[in-house]
Amino acid sequence: MQTHFDLIVFDWDGTLMDSAAAIVHAIQAASRDLGLPEPEEHRARHVIGLGLTDALQRAVPDLPEQEYPRMVERYRHHYLSRDHELTLFAGVREMMDELERRGFRLAVATGKSRLGLDRALAHSGLGEYFHALRCADQCHSKPHPQMLEELMAELGVPPERTLMIGDTTHDLQMAKNAGTGGLGVSYGAHPPEALLALEPLACLDSVEELRAWLLENA
């Protein structure tokens, strides 16, 4: 079987795990805890995928710099109180099984911390599928290309044989910055029109569509 890609890199939140609403809730609740105006949902959704401190700075621009650590602590409190309730999008495990059987190298590039990703991998049972991982506390935040560059170097795959899949413009801009293919999914944090503006190879509306596209085109 001829393939176009050897390495498929997934974002986590909003791409594999249905967690965007929980992230928005945690940002808004942390803002209330600090007596700050609660960011509207679209603003909170837009920062999903960034490293936590970068995300909170953008979501709550009036936050004084000395309050960043407290904001991070309150965000983590609210998010971790619900993260055990989060689930994978329907069809994700079956898709990963098929990609593994077909011999693709699989990786994750996420705005989560490594501790947070390790928790999510253990809870979801997906850890066994991935050959390499990069998180926001290991690299520059998206859309800087460092995560993808390090994954490609570690696994020995060039940009033209690498595909980045994500639900945010940060993911697709990172792919452009790294010179890899980019694939958008519209069922997560950012609307399809924003994803399409970055000219991904496709923008899929469900995991079922994503799986079908990968099996036919990757």
Question: Is residue 106 within 8 Å of 96, Cβ to Cβ?
Answer: yes
Q: Give the rounded percent of residues in the chain with a pLDDT score beyond 90.
A: 82
Q: Do residues 174 and 143 lie in contact, with contact meaning Cβ atoms separated by under 8 Å?
A: yes
Does the annotation count 11 as an active-site position?
yes
CA angle, 149 then 154 then 160, to 5°: 50
pLDDT the model gives residue 100: 97
Let me know if 6 is a catalytic residue.
no
Name the band, by pLDDT with cuts 50, 70 and 90, for residue 53. Answer: confident
pLDDT in tens, 54-89: 888 889 888 888 988 999 999 999 998 888 889 999
Q: Retrieve residue 125's tokens.
A: 């049972």
CATH class of 20-84: mainly alpha
pLDDT at 85: 84
Q: Give the pLDDT of residue 107.
A: 98
With a cut of 70, say whether residue 93 has pLDDT above it.
yes
Residue owning tokens 């190879």:
201
* Separation between Cα atoms, residue 139 and residue 144, nearest integer Å: 9
Mind listing the pLDDT tens digit for each residue in 10-40?
999 999 999 989 999 999 999 999 999 999 9
What pLDDT shows up at residue 49? 87
Which one from 6, 11, 18, 83 is the annotated catalytic residue? Answer: 11
DSSP 120-159: HHHHHT-GGG-SEEE-TTTSPPTTSTHHHHHHHHHHT--G
Residue 176 CA, distance from chain mean position: 16
Q: Residue 2 pLDDT > 90, yes or no?
A: no
Instruction: Name the amino acid, one letter, at 153.
Output: A
User: Is 7's pLDDT higher than 90?
Assistant: yes
- Give alpha helix (H) positions in the chain: 20-33, 41-46, 52-59, 68-80, 92-101, 114-124, 146-155, 169-178, 192-196, 207-217
Query: Nearest 5 degrees, angle CA 126-CA 2-CA 198?
Result: 65
Structure tokens that stand for 33 in this block: 């805890």
Domain span(s) for CATH 3.40.50.1000 in the chain? 7-19+87-217
Task: Give the pLDDT confidence score for residue 95 in this predicted structure.
Answer: 98
pLDDT of residue 179: 98
- Low-confidence winner among 2-11, 101-110, 125-134, 172-181 (lowest mean pLDDT): 2-11
Q: Where in the chain is the domain with CATH 1.10.150?
A: 20-84
Angle at 42 between CA 41 and CA 48, to 5 degrees: 90
Report pTM: 0.92
> Any residues with CB less than 8 A from the CB of 1 and at least 6 apart, and which?
102
- Among 13, 83, 167, 171, the active-site one is 13
Class of domain 7-19+87-217: alpha beta
- Residues 165-185: b if buried by 16+ CB within 10 A, e if exposed: bbbbbbbbbbbbebebbbbbb
Instruction: Give pLDDT tens digits for 140-168.
Output: 999 999 999 999 999 999 999 999 999 99
Q: What is the mean pLDDT of the chain?
A: 94
